[in-house]
Amino acid sequence: MRSISWLPLLLAAGCAHTPAPHPAQWTYDGETGPAHWGELVPACAKPRQSPIDLGGAVHKPLPAIAVHYQPSHFTVVNDGHNIVANAAPGSFIEVGGVRHELTQFHFHHPSEHVIDGKHYPLELHVVNKSAAGELDVLAVFVREGAENATLAPLFAALPVKGGQLPLDNLQPAALLPSVQAYYTYTGTLTVPPCSETHWLVLPDAIEVSAAQIAAFDARISHNNRPLQPTEGRDVSTTP
């Protein structure tokens, strides 16, 4: 997920000598790392953040996730925090009758959400947005195993920081395990600007090879926000 640039605002406000780093400079380490995001971006300090441990979720009937993704063009960018594959229009999911358009997918390394403490080498976030601007993010755990053929053209040419890669004819549905079972709760994006997000976390993992994990690690060594307090939130899962 890309950060918004606040630089024009700061320049307009004449803050050239401010000692505080501007919010676009958030990182995963040190003085602008996750523990300090709330000082840089107030929304990241609000209650009910993500990711969380989904263990202890309450089983109950949930609406089906209908996936209407189609093979399409993606523009992949390395924004320094992540490898983000921005989708051409036309793919969407429906949950409870509400349509959410696929906007992009990206990865966290290692995984962010956990179920009873279990981490994976990667977590895929597939971001979908409704016409009203509501975010439904599908989260998919990625374990080490067979080479992932769908991701092969991407992982073979992961762009360097600031770089771009056009990808044609990628079927995002092929990145998803079964969507029959899922966990759901309301939290935030796991990066600034920490916007409110409805999470749909799929418990079945997909696979990528050790070489594919190494290729990602060579570009982005780590980009996972630590677990956040659950704060008594309703976390549900299918029966």
Contacts with Zn ion, residue ranges (CB under 5 A) = 125
> Minimal distance in Å, beta carbon 1 to Zn ion?
5
What is d(CA 114, CA 119) in angstroms, rounded to the nearest whole number?
6
Minimum CB distance to Zn ion smaller for 109 or for 125: 125
Minimum CB distance to Zn ion smaller for 10 or for 217: 217
Reference 39, options 61, 17, 20; nearest CA is 20
Sequence-separated (6 or more) residues with CB below 8 Å from residue 62: 182, 184, 236, 237, 238
> Minimal distance in Å, beta carbon 114 to Zn ion?
14
> Minimal distance in Å, beta carbon 195 to Zn ion?
11
Strand partners, 86: 75, 104
Strand partners, 127: 104, 137
> Minimal distance in Å, beta carbon 58 to Zn ion?
25
Minimum CB distance to Zn ion smaller for 65 or for 85: 85
> Minimal distance in Å, beta carbon 93 to Zn ion?
16
Minimum CB distance to Zn ion smaller for 65 or for 106: 106
Q: Could you please report the per-residue DSSP string of 99-157?
A: EEEEEEEEEESS-S-BBTTB--SEEEEEEEEETT--EEEEEEEEEE-S--TTTHHHHTS
**Strands 65-68 and 92-95, sheet pairing:** antiparallel
What's the angle, vertex CA 135, arms to CA 71 and CA 2, rounded to 5?
80
Q: For residue 101, which amino acid is it?
A: E
Residue nearest to Zn ion (CB): 125
With contact defined as beta carbons under 8 Å apart, do 237 and 54 qualify? yes
Minimum CB distance to Zn ion smaller for 12 or for 200: 200
Reference 85, options 74, 100, 73; nearest CA is 74
> Minimal distance in Å, beta carbon 10 to Zn ion?
26
Minimum CB distance to Zn ion smaller for 2 or for 10: 2
Minimum CB distance to Zn ion smaller for 100 or for 125: 125
> Minimal distance in Å, beta carbon 223 to Zn ion?
9
Strand partners, 75: 86, 166
